[in-house]
Structure 1
Amino acid sequence: MAECELGELSKKASSPSFIFKAPRELRRVNESAFEPQIISIGPYHPGKPHLEAMESQKLHYLDSTRQQPEGLELYIDVYMSIEQFVWDSYAEHDLKKRDEFGAIIVLDGLFVVQLFRKVMDPKLREENDALFKQNLNLSIVAEDLLLLEKSTSFSKEALIFFSETEPRQIGMLYEDDLIPMLYKEEIIIRNDEHLLGLVHDNWIPRQPQPKSAPFHIIETSGLEETNSQTSLSKKRQQAEGNRKKSPVRKVKRRVPRLVIRSATELSERGIKFRKISECCLFNIQFKRGILYIPTLIVDHDTDRMFRNLIAYEQFKHDISIVMDYAKFLDCLINYANDVALLCDCGVIENRQGSNEDVAKMINKLNEYVYLCTENFHYSPIFIEVNRHCGRQLTLWTVKLRQKYFNVPWSWVLASISAATLLLILSFLQTIFSALSYFNQSAR
């Protein structure tokens, strides 16, 4: 079976590139988000001084490969079978010599294969293996493997053909402490993408969540019937089927603005926020004045992860869910008090630092990012939220409640009790005064 799959891959000489360098504009916002921290994987970042320490670790894994029954020759044969496919996978080639490119790919691919094997089978780990002695280094390596510019297609192909691993086990390298927002119910591997694409595809569920009931609305301005609980799998099916469908009757539509108010402003207008237990981070719902949002864990690697996934979607062109989600967050969060409100509601779990730092990070995610207004994933929710805020009666009700009824009930009851007591005392004083007057008159 492996030979058959290798044969199919070898025929993909004309396949388009899918491992790119990050666009200059995105790099300008945060250069470090696309730079490796500890290890160079692939041909885009070789020879940088701060990455040299891990090169000896690669050579150590190479030596251990020579001692295995299959030996190094089998891996080289596999690479030669898919050499053209791997070469075409990269959009740019900094190295002029093809054999030098191949040496880098084989060495890095072997490292990734051995790394995954040792993660899944502790018996294969050597006592002097620095990666497993220092969990911090292993965590950073796992993060570096997911950079847009660092993934090597051969590493994934080799993983498929040699590690004899069930796809679900690949998630062992990316547990909650490494990528806390990764959707991991089912790990699916495709032969035409790198590890970042693997994470992207498995972050988005293939099936809609069964526990969530749809909430339909009709936009009177000409928008077709939509669903406030947007279904990611349905969007994928529609995107894939649009090209095959026959032309339909054109409807003049008003494209909704990609703007909603911040979290604190929405709260002032009566909208509440509730966290929901969802496997998918993107399943956001709005119903009866409440925004239901899965918890986003913000830590030291959140900005890096989002930026690489957004850059990946800029090249993919067929789906933009991460970009749309970043836009949704950018609308909700303007200042630190917006983050504080969402943290209090459980929508955000801040492991990064101050609320102000989180707000600044979110606000920069969509800089130099192109969003398609007509295909914006959260348009139905934005329409309903803006409609809710535009209802004058709702605004008056909220202001009335906040001005006159925003007092704790304990204070209300205490005030009523005190007023009642004063009224009784005043009544008794009046009675005693009257009795005293009549007694004096009788004398």
Structure 2
Amino acid sequence: MSEIGSCSNDLNVSIVQLLNDFCYTASATPSIYRVDDCLRNTNEKAYDPMFISIGPLHRGKSNLEAMELHKMRYLKQLLGDSTSVDIYVDAIRNLEQSAREFYAQEIGLDADQFVKMLLLDGIFIIEFLCEYRLVDGGEVKMDGNPIFGSLYVVSQLLRDLMLFENQIPMSIVEALFRLSNKDDKKEFKDLIWPLTGYSRGDVPNDANARHLLGLVHSVKCFSFAQLRSHEKCWTQKNINSATDLREAGIVIKKKPWVMGKDCSWLDITFKKRTLYIPELMITDETESWFKNMIAYEFYLPISIPKYVSDYLFFLHCLMSSSKDAEVLRRCGVISSWLGGDARVYEVIDRLGTHVFNWRYFSYGGVFESINDHCGSKWNRLRANLKNSGPVISFIASVALRLL
């Protein structure tokens, strides 16, 4: 009995010692985490960089080493004849502690290594986007350019800059940009249009974020957030697939772009038995882009709307088979560079598999209207008669109109 008591006392002492050694502070608010396994399992490669490491989480991988030379090249290009980097290093040293708190896990780099990494990565982001603007404007030729001589490399670099685990603090990028920018009227936001698809003038002034992915997310969702800001909070429900909705008498149409108005890619509406959905172009980069946007939203506070996750949940409800993908393609809602409808369905299925339910659902009103329509006895009767054969359907439709 005494032996058992002795073991118990040892355990108590051990736990007390652990508690004394444990130090926890809730003051730091990380922005970047390792992507959770529940998200990563459907397509792990969607979160891993192909060409460049930004930040510490993928630093040192052998397949990314080649781009380290271009980071040095861009730094030398920025400095020009001057070899002094003092002002840049000093600016980052002043932000080092807050930059470490930016990451959820402890970063195993000493002060000099950490500052050097932030300097090279931040300068690469700025100089790459500046050079993109010059190439696009015809001021720099693509032929012979170490990076822009290959459209594939440029495409993959743009993809890698949008990875959730491949980020550094926006405060670092902004500080370096202010030091390197000779035109005080320009802002870093003026450079991000290759990542948003919007022209430079379309970036909202209040689009702020803690890193580049968050900034692009803010810009891409801004107009939709403005539309939804006056609506009540809806809870998440469900709707039937595109095939079932058509059988219930609902027409699915591509939402037209209106000249002079910002038709948000997220703005799905339902009016007079018609579901209007903006066209979605699916390419090789689509899955990675959406998955990293979902990962970003996954770690946001629960009170903040998750617009991209809600959008993918909507598409996932509509597309329960390749037949639904075909329906949406024929309606002009989905266009694809991937190949057949089965490939499109597989992408949407993976994207929607681990989209989590949130307190607020952006399309709750649309779902409610659709379900009200499908639940109407007249609409159910119309749908049943429509599927009963062309002759009976014609006679029934005339009878319904007379009634």
TM-score (norm 2): 0.79
Give the residue type in structure 1 aligned to 2:325.
V
Offset, 1:88: 1.7
Report matched runs for 1:164-243 at 5 Å: 164=183, 165-166=186-187, 169-174=190-195, 176=197, 185-188=202-205, 192-206=209-223, 231-234=227-230
Give the residue type in structure 2 aligned to 1:332.
L
Change (3 A) 1:60 1:292: same
Give the residue type in structure 2 aligned to 1:233.
S
Partner of 1:304: 288
Match of 1:28 among 10, 32, 41: 41
Partner of 2:52: 39
CA contact (8 A) 1:274 1:292 kept: yes
More deviation, 86-95/122-131:
122-131
CA contact (8 A) 1:19 1:194 kept: no
Distance in 2 (alpha carbons) for counterparts of 1:262 and 1:183? 38
3-state SS of paired residue (2:147): helix
Cα displacement string for residues 366-405 of structure 1 (whole angstroms, at most 9, x for unaligned residues): 3344212x42111111111111111222122233344454
Match of 1:150 among 153, 166, 177: 166
Partner of 1:332: 318
Give the residue type in structure 2 aligned to 1:144.
D
Whether 2:128 is the aligned partner of 1:110: answer no
Change (3 A) 1:371 1:332: same
Distance in 1 (alpha carbons) for counterparts of 2:323 and 2:265? 22
Partner of 1:421: none
Cα displacement string for residues 227-253 of structure 1 (whole angstroms, at most 9, x for unaligned residues): xxxx33336xx78xxxxxxxxxxxxxx
Offset, 1:316: 1.0
3-state SS of paired residue (1:365): helix
Give the residue type in structure 1 aligned to 2:180.
F
Give the residue type in structure 2 aligned to 1:152.
I
3-state SS of paired residue (1:21): coil
RMSD: 3.0
Distance in 2 (alpha carbons) for counterparts of 1:208 and 1:321? 8
Change (3 A) 1:157 1:30: farther
Distance in 1 (alpha carbons) for counterparts of 2:191 and 2:243? 40
Change (3 A) 1:323 1:126: closer
Report matched runs for 1:2-401 at 5 Å: 16-67=29-80, 71-122=84-135, 123=139, 128-153=144-169, 154-163=172-181, 164=183, 165-166=186-187, 169-174=190-195, 176=197, 185-188=202-205, 192-206=209-223, 231-234=227-230, 258-278=237-257, 279-317=263-301, 318-372=304-358, 374-401=359-386
Offset, 1:330: 0.7
Which runs of structure 1 show a deviation greater than 4 angstroms over 4 or more consecutive aligned residues?
Answer: 68-71, 122-128, 187-192, 206-209, 404-407
CA contact (8 A) 2:100 2:107 kept: no
Partner of 1:218: none
3-state SS of paired residue (2:210): coil
Give the residue type in structure 1 aligned to 2:281.
I
Offset, 1:184: 7.9
Report matched runs for 1:397-408 at 5 Å: 397-405=382-390
CA contact (8 A) 1:262 1:334 kept: yes
Structure 1, unaligned runs of 5 or more: 1-13, 210-230, 240-254, 410-443
Cα displacement string for residues 165-186 of structure 1 (whole angstroms, at most 9, x for unaligned residues): 345532342364xxx9x99832
Q: Between Structure 1 and Structure 2, whose CA radius of gyration is higher?
A: 1
Offset, 1:360: 1.6
Distance in 1 (alpha carbons) for counterparts of 2:28 and 2:235? 37
Give the residue type in structure 2 aligned to 1:82.
L
Offset, 1:77: 2.2
3-state SS of paired residue (2:117): helix
Cα displacement string for residues 420-443 of structure 1 (whole angstroms, at most 9, x for unaligned residues): xxxxxxxxxxxxxxxxxxxxxxxx
Change (3 A) 1:366 1:156: farther
Distance in 2 (alpha carbons) for counterparts of 1:172 and 1:256? 34
More deviation, 335-344/83-92:
83-92
Change (3 A) 1:184 1:202: farther
More deviation, 304-313/128-137:
128-137
Question: What percentage of aligned pairs have identical amino acids?
Answer: 30
Change (3 A) 1:268 1:68: farther
Offset, 1:299: 0.9
Give the residue type in structure 2 aligned to 1:52.
E
Change (3 A) 1:256 1:64: closer
Give the residue type in structure 2 aligned to 1:270.
G
Give the residue type in structure 2 aligned to 1:266.
L
TM-score (norm 1): 0.72
Change (3 A) 1:406 1:159: farther
Corresponding residue pairs, total = 353
Partner of 2:399: none
